[in-house]
Structure 1
Amino acid sequence: MSIECTVIKEIDYYMESIELLFRIINKKSYQNLKTDLLKRTDEKKKAVISYQLDKLSFIQEEIERKTDVNNPVIKFYFTSFISENICIAKILFQCVRHSTFSGNKNEVIHFINNYLSAIKDNNTLELSFDDVDLRTSAYENNKTVTFTDRINNLECEPAQKWQLLELIEHSSKHAEILYEILEKTVSELKEQEIILLELKETATEYWMEYFKQHSFYKLMNSFYNIKEDSYPSKPTFIRTQIMACNRVIFYGNDENVGDYHILDVGILFDCNYKVSKRQLSNQELSNGLKLLSDPSKFEILCFIRNKKAYGQEIAAELKLTTATISHHMNTLMKLGLINIEKSDNKVYYQMNKEAVNYLLEVTKNKLLED
């Protein structure tokens, strides 16, 4: 059964502005990224990557020149928070990023407020990004855990926990303030629309041509070691990312939640991207080791080390819910630590030994290199 793929053509100026301001405030320059990438890029791709990153560097310099980088309000929303790749602004917009929702300012703020408010009443508190996974359950040892205690149980610094608590409790206020910042940047970013459209259209056309000849299953096999026809058949939206040019993020992997999948692909990537063999940053290495040190995830990997197993089987063995297993698998998949395939209408998981070995080898080389 095929999956319907829709490549989004429009530029999301608010999301692009969040990523750009985040890079500016945290001094993540595209020129430094260019220097790093060119060291490990095929000769035939160097010219294209240089061209793209030079364009992005020009835009970054133009917007930075017009941005008060010392403004404490801007720094509050865009300074790295918990992880090197997220900030308060990204947490506020998490629900929009994980959905295909679109609307005017008031509708988006209402959507954000409802999403964050619902966290207090849901069974879990979950903040999942491309390189960090914060999750705590409302039920532990057959007892209900309060929202405040769930915040306290998150694996982050005490000051960060209270910031999250305040953010969720007063999400409307924070969304309003953030929009005031973003509207100025969006206006300035649109002055560079010719460059942005060129970069966006090139990436969009590439993926539109790709899906004329190949299936989404084939792409997932290339990206995440997922066997073809082993993924829930739901409509999928491909969003090419301009400012987040060097990241690929997949929102999905739960057969019971959501009516569609979303794949965000940075403009630097093509179908040959391989999650388990890409260059890992220090933050990604740290997050990978955190995954291995998490008791449940470690037990799951041990259980599927030498055999394939489906969700209910793993859940029964480890005395976890199938929803929890699905969540853990989604997290492990982001670093390519598992393989996924379908057989007899069941989705089977197995540890990707090559990827786990690669993670440990890179860590060893980083720590012990001369």
Structure 2
Amino acid sequence: MKINLIKKPNYLHEAISLIIQVMQLQDADDIEKIHISDNPERYPVPMEDMDTRYADLITYRKNMLKKAYPIMKDNIPLKISTSYVDESASNMTYINTLFYMLEVSDAKDISEEELLIAHLNSLLTYYYNKAGTANICDENYFQSFNNSNWKTGDVNINTDDMLQLISELNFPESLKWFALEQITNEDCRVSFIATLITAQEIVEKHFYLVEERYSKAVKYLENPAIQMETLEKTLGMFIENIKEIVPLLSLEISVLSYNAAGLKTYKYQHLKDTVFLGIIIEELMDLTGHYDISDERIVDMCKALGDTLRYEIINLLTQRPYFAKELAELLGVAPSTLSHHLSILVNNGFLHMDLSDRKVYYKTNKEALTKLANYFQTKANSVKE
């Protein structure tokens, strides 16, 4: 697998992160309470020292939030689009998914039609994930629904099709209406793009605060050996899954989401397989000895295991690897049902996927189970007697 380091900042990604963080604030006073981490107990040095060490990142984050909060906090479309799509299995917000469907790094480059297609691809992805057919790789399959199609330059949308598509999703009602309005109303899409541009302009005006750190991070990651070493260290269980499947992986540096890392691989041929790497995540790992895993991430992992069928899948795969067809027969479930549950376990890092004779087989990822166990052991050790 080759890695392509993207050296230019992804201002749109920073803008999306800014919007999400604004919506997570209870009030403006919370901005001054921000530290480099919400989990000071995980670090061997006082949080005040940590804040001093990363003062540029703290200043960048606080100053942007102060600017964006009064502009965006009461924006209803932003509130809705940053809500969780399906809290039963994922901590992903709709706006995150929408961003991943846009092959741009600058909000000013988003056309109204491109945003429409991104909405439709996002909805259809949720639809097929829910149906358990998430592994379909034919791009044409993801450019149409019933009598509607949305190839670039040839978009033909039937409202009844969209009503049917949205009604079958596990979305909050407010998000369903938001999605429908975005699809059927061009003015709403234009307004949404304008909001993204506003958020990005805030990022661009403040990026000088972290310019030096960003340049150093790019220089550090220019070494191919360091690229792979860093990815294996921060996303090892996910990287191992895709080494033989993804020929080219784009690597982008996240600044505002400085202590996070995320991997996105696509069914869509026109989109890049991309990993977003927090600019200080490796340093935080070195300080703690492990990934600064958030409580929200732990909740996601527990939700993934909190299903009888998925628990049975894990138990079977701890004994030996299985092909999906074998698992479906052993568990007595339809392939589509199994695919849905396997996707959840893979997305949460509990399973590895390997190729053999062009078939994918699954095996348990010991590292993920160990990480979860260690997290709770750390919690147990911190209990005051």
**Counterpart in the other structure of 2:281:** 269
- Asked whether the equivalents of residues 236 and 260 of structure 1 are also in contact (C-alpha less than 8 Å), the reply is yes
TM-score (norm 2): 0.69
- Asked whether the equivalents of residues 152 and 161 of structure 1 are also in contact (C-alpha less than 8 Å), the reply is no
**Counterpart in the other structure of 1:115:** 118
**Cα distance in 2 between the residues matched to 1:363 and 1:175:** 44
**Cα distance in 1 between the residues matched to 2:273 and 2:368:** 24
Q: 1:291 to 1:353 in 2, by over 3 A?
A: same
In angstroms, what is the RMSD of aligned CA positions?
A: 4.5
- The total of aligned residue pairs comes to 345
- Asked whether the equivalents of residues 336 and 352 of structure 1 are also in contact (C-alpha less than 8 Å), the reply is yes
CA shift at 1:212, angstroms? Answer: 3.8
Deviates more, 1:281-290 or 1:100-109: 100-109
Q: 1:150 to 1:360 in 2, by over 3 A?
A: farther
**Counterpart in the other structure of 1:337:** 350
- Report the structure, 1 or 2, having the larger helix content: 2
Is 1:32 matched up with 2:56?
Answer: no
User: What residue identity is the alignment partner of 1:204?
Assistant: V
CA shift at 1:236, angstroms? Answer: 0.8
Which of 126, 136, 144 is residue 130 of structure 2 equivalent to?
Answer: 136
Q: 1:324 to 1:173 in 2, by over 3 A?
A: farther
Instruction: Please give the secondary structure, in 1, of the residue aligned with 2:256.
Output: coil
User: What residue identity is the alignment partner of 1:262?
Assistant: T
Deviates more, 1:6-15 or 1:166-175: 166-175
**Cα distance in 2 between the residues matched to 1:312 and 1:168:** 39
Which of 303, 307, 313 is residue 300 of structure 1 equivalent to?
Answer: 313
CA shift at 1:217, angstroms? Answer: 11
- Asked whether the equivalents of residues 253 and 330 of structure 1 are also in contact (C-alpha less than 8 Å), the reply is no
Which of 241, 245, 264 is residue 232 of structure 1 equivalent to?
Answer: 245
Residue by residue over 1:56-87, the C-alpha shift from the partner in whole angstroms, topping out at 9 and shown as x without a partner, is 32223333343352756535404741269655
TM-score (norm 1): 0.71
User: What residue identity is the alignment partner of 1:21?
Assistant: I
Instruction: Please give the secondary structure, in 1, of the residue aligned with 2:34.
Output: helix
- Asked whether the equivalents of residues 76 and 88 of structure 1 are also in contact (C-alpha less than 8 Å), the reply is no
Q: Which has the higher contact order (CA 8 A, sep 6+)?
A: 2
**Cα distance in 2 between the residues matched to 1:218 and 1:345:** 25
Instruction: Please give the secondary structure, in 2, of the residue aligned with 1:245.
Output: coil
Q: Which residues of 2 match residues 1-370 of structure 1 at below 5 A? A: 3-27=1-25, 29=31, 32-36=34-38, 38-41=40-43, 50-52=52-54, 54-67=55-68, 69=70, 74=75, 76-78=77-79, 80-82=82-84, 87=93, 89-96=95-102, 100-101=103-104, 105=108, 107-118=110-121, 125=127, 135-137=129-131, 148=163, 151-157=166-172, 159-167=173-181, 169-170=183-184, 172-209=186-223, 211-212=224-225, 215=228, 219=232, 223-224=236-237, 227=240, 231-252=244-265, 260-270=272-282, 278-294=291-307, 297-315=310-328, 317-318=330-331, 319-321=333-335, 325=339, 328-341=341-354, 346-353=359-366, 355-356=368-369, 358-359=371-372, 362=375
Residue by residue over 1:93-132, the C-alpha shift from the partner in whole angstroms, topping out at 9 and shown as x without a partner, is 2412xxx445774644322212323567x58626xxxxxx
User: What residue identity is the alignment partner of 1:95?
Assistant: M
User: What residue identity is the alignment partner of 2:53?
Assistant: Y
CA shift at 1:55, angstroms? Answer: 1.6
Unaligned 5+ runs, structure 2: 134-145, 147-160
Unaligned 5+ runs, structure 1: 127-134
